[in-house]
Amino acid sequence: MVLGSVTTETPSGASSSPENKPLGRRLLRAGLAIALLALAASCSACSPIYVIKAGIAEMQILRARQDIPEVLNDTTVDAATRGKLSFVFEARRFAANELRIDVGDAYTMFTQLDSDTLALVVSAAHKDRLVPKTWWFPIVGRMPYKGFFSLEDAQKQQADLEEEGYDTYLRPTAAFSPLGWFNAPILSTMLRADDVEVVETVLHELSHRHLFVSGRVGFNESFATFVGRAGAAQFFCTRDGGGPDTLKCLRAQARWQDYQRFSVFIDEMMEELNAVYDDTELPYEEKVSRRGGVFERSLARFDADVAPTFESVTFSGFRNTPLNNATLLTRIRYYHRLPDFAALLDARGGDLAAVLAELKSNAGTVEDPFEMLPSDGR
């Protein structure tokens, strides 16, 4: 995920040595202050108060960073945390050496947060069409969600949007990508997952550094989902101490297959809804009424035909979130056309690095980056 509010840090690395840390922090505060003023002046999606609150929260995350090697050598840190941080370092090396992603200094530091959630994300969509409400942010362009570090602020934004007639979705997030603008730390919220999901998340977020198409959130997130899940399967099935018959390899492969199955289900629901929404003869009220039938049929198909095929518990909570256009668009954003990404990978002989290089090279040559994928992945 990419947070809409982006702060910047001088990439000097000066804060890595103890004697330079005060200087590094002063530079960070100064750079952040300048960035906040610039964002407040140019951000049409947010008030100066929003920018300042987000900036302060992100600055607190940055100031609390610790070098991961120090954490790994600290015996007062629990073994589970140190074990997962070791996987983080392995995943970074895999991304750099095997996938040829420029990882920079990302995920060489760790921040312990005081809460179980990094941030809250609010999304909204029109009730009669699969069109999200968007907010414009500097650097990243238009985004179909808005991040908050305060539950109260997020709930107020959600209530305001519902009063305006939108479908809404409020969800937590455990990770974000700063797109290389500063040294992103591993957050304690990211380590609550199992080892496979930790590696998936690291590769997902690092992929944003490799390829990010401004204003194309749907492609960016589906691409990152593909890199995270297919990459984790390759990581656990080929690493030293791993192998094709190990539990983590089998789990990562099962999760990647389930993501593709869920992608097909979500895209089919999207197509059925668009057939209703695109009917210009139907009034607003009729479209909203008919979508209820689409949701009902889709959920019945999920229970009868999709869920029984799953090999993991990845989507066991799908039924816990009510369906509306905002919740569906969030799923589409992360799971759209995953079988087509898989088909491209198969066509390149399973060479994930080659696929990443190809997509990055061709992204600027097409209007819609999804045009780079084969259309027969299902």
d(CA 374, CA 378) in angstroms, rounded, equals: 10
Q: Which one, of 126, 22, 108, 28, lies nearest residue 71 by Cα?
A: 108
pTM of the model: 0.83
Pairing state between β 119-125 and 167-173? antiparallel
Residue-level pLDDT at 32: 45
d(CA 163, CA 243) in angstroms, rounded, equals: 53
Mean pLDDT (whole number) for 215-222: 91
Residue-level pLDDT at 173: 83
Residue-level pLDDT at 377: 58
Name the more confident of 70 and 183. 70
Q: Please report which confidence band the pLDDT of residue 215 belongs to, taking 50, 70 and 90 as the band edges.
A: confident
Most confident by average pLDDT, 102-116, 235-249, 348-362? 348-362
Residue-level pLDDT at 119: 84
Cβ neighbour number for residue 181 with a 10 Å cutoff = 15
Chain segment 2-55, per-residue pLDDT in tens:
444 332 222 223 333 333 444 444 444 444 444 444 444 445 555 666 666 666
Residue type at 11 in one-letter notation: P
User: Which residue, chain included where needed, has tokens 């995953």?
Assistant: 338
Extract the tokens encoding 2. 């990419």
| Residue 222 predicted with pLDDT over 70 | yes
**Whether the Cβ atoms of residue 110 and residue 66 lie closer than 8 Å to each other:** yes
Q: Which one, of 221, 241, 242, 224, lies nearest residue 233 by Cα?
A: 242
Pick left, alpha or beta for residue 375 (phi over 0 → left; psi -120 to 50 → alpha; otherwise beta). Answer: alpha
d(CA 346, CA 335) in angstroms, rounded, equals: 18
Q: Which one, of 157, 150, 106, 115, lies nearest residue 135 by Cα?
A: 157
The share of the chain scoring above pLDDT 90, in percent, equals 65
The mean predicted confidence, pLDDT, of the chain is: 85
Residue-level pLDDT at 6: 32
User: 256: Cβ–Cβ under 8 A, 6 or more apart, which residues?
Assistant: 229, 230, 232, 233, 342
d(CA 115, CA 110) in angstroms, rounded, equals: 15
**Whether the Cβ atoms of residue 147 and residue 3 lie closer than 8 Å to each other:** yes
Residue-level pLDDT at 20: 42
Mean pLDDT (whole number) for 144-155: 89
Instruction: Please report the DSSP string for 115-132 in residue order.
Output: SS-SEEEEEEE-TTSS-B
Helix orientation angle between 195-210 and 217-238, rounded to the nearest 10 degrees:
130
Most confident by average pLDDT, 14-18, 182-186, 210-214? 210-214
d(CA 274, CA 222) in angstroms, rounded, equals: 20
d(CA 182, CA 28) in angstroms, rounded, equals: 10
Q: Please report which confidence band the pLDDT of residue 181 belongs to, taking 50, 70 and 90 as the band edges.
A: low
With b meaning 16 or more CB within 10 Å and e meaning fewer, what string describes 305-338? ebbeebebebbeebeeeebbbbbbbbbbbbbbbb
Residues in the chain: 378
